[in-house]
Amino acid sequence: MTSNSNINHYLEQNEERFIAELKRWVAIPSLSADPARAGDVRQCAERVVEQMREIGLRAELIETDGNPIAYGEWTQGADAPTLLIYGHYDVQPADPLDLWQTPPFEATVRDGKIFGRGVDDKGQVLMHLAAVEAHLRVQNRLPLNVKVVIEGEEEIGSPNFEAFLEKNRDRLKSDVAVISDTAMFAEDVPSLTTSLRGMVHWEVRVDGPSTDVHSGTFGGIVRNPIEALAKMIAALKDADDRVTVPGFYDGVESLSAEKRAALQRLPFDETFQAEQLGVPKLAGERGCLPLERIWYRPTLECNGIWGGYQGPGSKTIVPAYACAKLSARLVAGQDPATIKQRVEEFLRSAPPEGVVVQVSSYSDVRAVHTSPDHPAVKAAARAVEAGFGKSPVLIGTGGTIGPVSSFDRILKLPQVLIGVGLPDDAIHAPNEKFTLRQFFSGMKTMARFYDELATALQ
């Protein structure tokens, strides 16, 4: 085990420099969703590579059919375990700009927090680079081999990432991947994420008359597509908010008594959460705890619906068509391709008389689960306790990180999710922030994790 006190001292002595570097990254508006920002995206990738080289990694830009990958590595030897570090340098648009208290691309520090677009994502990447730097400056070595993969398209669904993994499968061969793109349960509740839900999307179109028709002349003899679509969507769930699609829950395991008890011990206030969301009461699948619904149960949601007249005043028509977008969040045991097919079959099986139903689907991502007993998870738990002063709780995440599933499917890599963001960081929203305590404690956690993992895997 390396001298952690010396490494921590180095990190503490350089905190202001790390803040300055994060400000430099935030100043580059690397918006992957905006083609007009392609030059800024590349500039950010180049800065990531430049910084990797500055701290002692062999680094390069790897081109894809989209934005480049910033890649760096440090090799101790063939006999040493290898850790793959994943992150992304692209960010979401800053709109609406008028809701920002300070300019989104001019990172501002106040009240122990740094504000700016992408501070949370870029900050957690820098957290790893700072930890790597500390090891190399203090010890002149890392305790294990490291491969750093920082992509530039995560915020638009990583459309070229799987092709990159397939092409570089041998080069990226590792023992474990670590991803710091998640949040802790709360500021005073350090946590490790061991599961992510998967996802499938559908678009449904219901066609009625060939054009909008007069509701007085034809209302009553043609089926209204909006009404038909509304009935189809309503039929997807029963009175207990369970999905009615046959086979939807196949492979889904019930929560164990031990896991349920662990969820109940977490400080989750249903009334407070409802108030924060602006709803009278939390809702969902009957018989399940709120955190169970978010982390360990699948869901099926209508994300959007449109059709008919949308302008001011009224227009008395029966519309020609109606559309909806649906998505399902999946859990371990569910196959995305199977769920995709079953939902499509359900929607097409009994269309209301007088309309034609079309269903298309896309973006299927498998859920990912890492066993709490895996040596890498145990190593991460020891590192988090060292960095934050408390033993972490194990949690799930209701969202989906596409690259996590890709690592699992293509590289067969066990993954550890050590995110240090907070639930109120306003990620993707105005006034996004990253708490400096999380930033600095996260650096120490990652530096310790490299040591703990090297020991655990030897």
CATH assignment at residue 339: 3.30.70.360
Residues 375, 360 share a domain: no
Task: State percent of the chain over pLDDT 70.
Answer: 100
In this structure, the answer to whether residues 372 and 361 fall within a common structural domain is no
pLDDT band (50, 70, 90) for residue 401 = confident
User: What local confidence, expressed as pLDDT, does residue 1 receive?
Assistant: 46
Please tell me the total count of domains within the chain.
2
Same domain for 134 and 233, yes or no, is no
Q: Are 69 and 165 members of one domain?
A: yes
Confidence of residue 295 (pLDDT cuts 50, 70, 90): very high
How many CA atoms lie less than 13 Å away from 248 in the CB half-sphere? 19
Say if residue 41 is in the same domain as residue 104.
Answer: yes
- Rounded alpha-carbon distances, angstroms, from residue 429 to 104, 115, 372: 10, 11, 32
**C-beta separation of 192 from 430 below 8 A:** no
The Cα 281–Cα 166 span in angstroms is: 46
Q: Which is nearest to 180 in space by CA: 383, 344, 458?
A: 383
Report whether 381 contacts 178 (CB < 8 A).
no
- Same domain for 374 and 361? no
Average pLDDT for residues 310-318, to the nearest whole number? 96
- Are 83 and 175 a contacting pair, CB within 8 Å? yes
Co-location of 42 and 160 in the same domain: yes
CATH number of the domain enclosing 399: 3.40.630.10
Segment 174-208, tens digit of pLDDT: 999 999 998 999 999 999 999 999 999 999 999 99
Q: What pLDDT score does 325 carry? A: 96
What is the reported pLDDT for 58?
Answer: 98
pLDDT class of 2 with cuts at 50, 70, 90: very low
pLDDT in tens, 420-434: 999 999 999 999 999
One domain for residues 356 and 441: no
Mean pLDDT of the region 13-18: 98
Q: Are residues 374 and 441 in the same domain?
A: yes
The more confidently predicted of residues 20 and 78 is 20
Quote the tokens at residue 30. 């690397």
If asked whether residues 344 and 387 sit together in one domain, one would say no
pLDDT of residue 404: 86
In angstroms, the CA 283 to CA 432 distance is 28
Helix 15-26 and helix 119-139, axial crossing angle in degrees, nearest 10: 140
For the cut 60, the answer to whether the pLDDT of residue 4 exceeds it is yes
Over the stretch 45-76, which tens digit does the pLDDT of each residue have? 999 999 999 999 999 999 999 999 999 999 98
**Model confidence over 133-170: pLDDT tens digits?**
999 999 999 999 999 999 999 999 899 999 999 999 99
Length of the chain (residues): 458
Cα(413)–Cα(66) distance, integer angstroms: 24
CA dihedral 397, 401, 406, 409 (to 10 degrees): 20
- Taking only the tens place, the pLDDT of each residue in 200-251 is 999 999 999 999 999 999 999 999 999 999 999 999 999 999 999 999 999 9
SS3 sequence, the chain?
A: CCCHHHHHHHHHHCHHHHHHHHHHHHCCCCECCCHHHHHHHHHHHHHHHHHHHHHCCEEEEECCCCCCEEEEEECCCCCCCEEEEEEECCECCCCCHHHCCCCCCCCEEECCEEECCCHHHHHHHHHHHHHHHHHHHHHCCCCCEEEEEEECCHHHCCCCHHHHHHHCCCCCCCCEEEECCCECCECCECEEEEEECEEEEEEEEEECCCCCEECCCCECCECCHHHHHHHHHHCCECCCCCECCCCCCCCCCCCCHHHHHHHHHCCCCHHHHHHHHCCCCCCCCCCCCHHHHHHCCCEEEEEEEEECCCCCCCCCEECCEEEEEEEEEECCCCCHHHHHHHHHHHHHHCCCCCCEEEEEEEEEECCEECCCCCHHHHHHHHHHHHHHCCCCEEEEECCCCHHHHHHHHHHCCCEEECCCECCCCCCCCCCCEEEHHHHHHHHHHHHHHHHHHHHHHC
Domain boundary among 365, 385, 420: 365
Residue 129 pLDDT > 80: yes
**What's the confidence (pLDDT) of residue 276?**
87
Q: In 3D, which of 119, 152, 128 has the Cα closest to residue 22?
A: 119
422, 438 in Cβ contact below 8 A?
yes
CA 414 to chain centre: 17
> Which pLDDT score, from 0 to 100, does residue 458 have?
84
Tell whether 148 is covered by a domain: yes
- Residue 164 domain-assigned (yes or no): yes
Last residue within a domain, chosen from 317, 342, 365: 365
The parent domain of residue 358 ranges over 198-252+298-365
Same domain, 175 and 187: yes
Domain limit, last residue, from 318, 347, 365: 365
Please report, for residues 174, 179, 456, the alpha-carbon distance to residue 191 in angstroms, rounded to integers and kept in the order given.
24, 14, 20
pLDDT for position 363: 77
Q: Are 11 and 134 in contact (CB under 8 A)?
A: yes
Sequence-distant (6+) residues with CB within 8 A of 323 are: 203, 204, 205, 206, 229, 305, 306, 307
**What does the mean pLDDT of the chain come to?**
96
pTM above 0.85, yes or no: yes
Q: Which candidate, 320, 324, 256, places its Cα nearest to that of 289?
A: 256
Both 42 and 120 in one domain: the answer is yes
